[in-house]
Amino acid sequence: MTGLALAFRRNQNPAPGDDILVLEEGPQPGGTLRTLREEGLVLEAGPNTLRTTPAAERLVSDLDLGDDVLVADPMAPRWIVRDGRARSVVPGLPAVLTSAISPGGKLRVLKEAFVAPRPASLDDEPAHDFFARRFGDEFARWAAGPLVSGVWADDPATISARSAFPKLWEAEARSGSVLRDLLKAPKAPPPRFRARTISFRNGLSTLAERLVERSQREGVRIELNAEVAAVEGPFEAGSEGAAWRIHIADGTVYPADTLVSTLDAQSLSTHLGTRLPRSASRLGAIAYSRLAVVLQAFHTEREDAAPRGFGVLIPRGEGFRSLGVLYLSSLFPSRVPGGLALTTSFFGGALDPSLPDLTESGLLALAEAEVRRLHPALGPRTHGRVLKWPAALPRLPLGHHATLTLLDEDLAEVNAGGERPRLVVTGSWRDGLGLGERIARAEELAPAL
């Protein structure tokens, strides 16, 4: 998504001599965007929703996709399983009414405003410790924990709070308390942007497909099945030819003056590590979580049998193996045939890493049993699909920010003295995981190349 959005944006305002090429090792564009359209169903094996940023809204509009947008109900309840029962959390102020946190636990959340700020010597800590310190153990266990598993598929006891939750980390640094920082918001804020949670009539891959169609029509080259096998360069400014030579697995070589990497951290280290001496070994050590996604459709004879809301997060220790389940038919009902409920179950992640090794039939059986446990009135299952992601999401270790600082120093050296940057590096492990953030990054980078 980042590579495609960047190519599109740059091509709208090209510099003289621009010739833009996107290389993708897979047979289809869009990276983790993976819409399956089968048996009249629109199913998502990768991301299910796009939480918009201003840049994402602009992209959707510039691609004339406005009429295809489906907007999820902003008040759709999220559910958290506690003591075997799913408890609703309605976004915004009503969230304080949830029974996922006890009255004592809620009081402790409010006391955050009076908790002493972290000592200056603490430059990072695990997300669980951060939330427990600021908001109390109960909040850390029943709210933040499942969120970490649901968004990052990571372990709350190891993921870096500073890197995974930078806004909260900075709020504490700024105001000594996250809540006090929120309350200190400027008196006359600029007109507020209203983020939406969206998809498209034909699924999220629509975005990648439209980007490819438009960009190719306007002269961008997009090569699929083009795995970058090696990168030579940068060659000295003033030497004959381009700064880089990109070798594709089939033997093709592409010259380039500016190279933008949207690779995962490990591949970046493999292909460009010798040019990034300070950060390469730390980048290469960033682990990725494995996930299995199980997509299911069920008959629902009675309307009230279908799951309602955004989806459910399931904390560890509740006797489930699903990290969470999304309720697609409730999120985007207009694209689901009547009488069907669609669910997306996530398995694996850092806390259950071998689960994706289970056979497809094993995963299908597990997903069905766990969805039925939560929604016993569902009718027969009519469709079941399993997709495995061997390297789904980056796991941000403690001290990740220091790795990024070293990378900044490496990049400053590679790019020193040139009029244009030779090497630009972006990725969900560096500057934002969500699709809205990936698109924002692309828009920001386009004029800077």
Interface residues with ligand FAD (CB under 6 A) are 1-3, 23-26, 31-32, 46-50, 227-228, 262-263, 267, 291, 293, 389, 392-393, 427-428, 433-435, 438
- Give dist(CA 49, CA 82) in Å, integer: 25
Would you tell me the crossing angle of helices 435-445 and 2-12 to the nearest 10 degrees? Answer: 30
Check if the beta carbon of residue 105 is closer than 8 Å to that of residue 99: no
Nearer to ligand FAD, 25 or 125 (CB): 25
Cβ of residue 227: shortest distance to ligand FAD, in angstroms?
A: 4
Nearer to ligand FAD, 181 or 370 (CB): 370
Please give the backbone phi and psi of residue 181, each rounded to the nearest 5 degrees, phi first.
Answer: -65, -40
Nearer to ligand FAD, 131 or 429 (CB): 429
Cβ of residue 105: shortest distance to ligand FAD, in angstroms?
A: 28
Cβ of residue 339: shortest distance to ligand FAD, in angstroms?
A: 26
Q: Provide the residue type at 442 as one letter.
A: A
Nearer to ligand FAD, 268 or 297 (CB): 268
- Give dist(CA 438, CA 427) in Å, integer: 8
Nearer to ligand FAD, 294 or 364 (CB): 294
Cβ of residue 289: shortest distance to ligand FAD, in angstroms?
A: 9
Which residues lie below 8 Å from residue 393, measured CB to CB, with a gap of 6+?
152, 153, 154, 288, 289, 291, 428, 433
Cβ of residue 318: shortest distance to ligand FAD, in angstroms?
A: 21
Nearer to ligand FAD, 48 or 279 (CB): 48
Going by C-alpha positions, the residue among 334, 331, 327, 319 that lies closest to residue 298 is: 327
- Neighbour-count burial for 311-350, b at 16+ CB within 10 Å, e otherwise: bbbbbbebebbbbbbbbbbbbbbebbeeebbbbbbbbbbb
H helical segments located in 154-239: 161-164, 166-175, 178-183, 205-217
Please give the backbone phi and psi of residue 253, each rounded to the nearest 5 degrees, phi first.
Answer: -125, 130
Cβ of residue 340: shortest distance to ligand FAD, in angstroms?
A: 21
Nearer to ligand FAD, 21 or 402 (CB): 21
| Residue number, nearest CB to ligand FAD | 31
Cβ of residue 3: shortest distance to ligand FAD, in angstroms?
A: 6
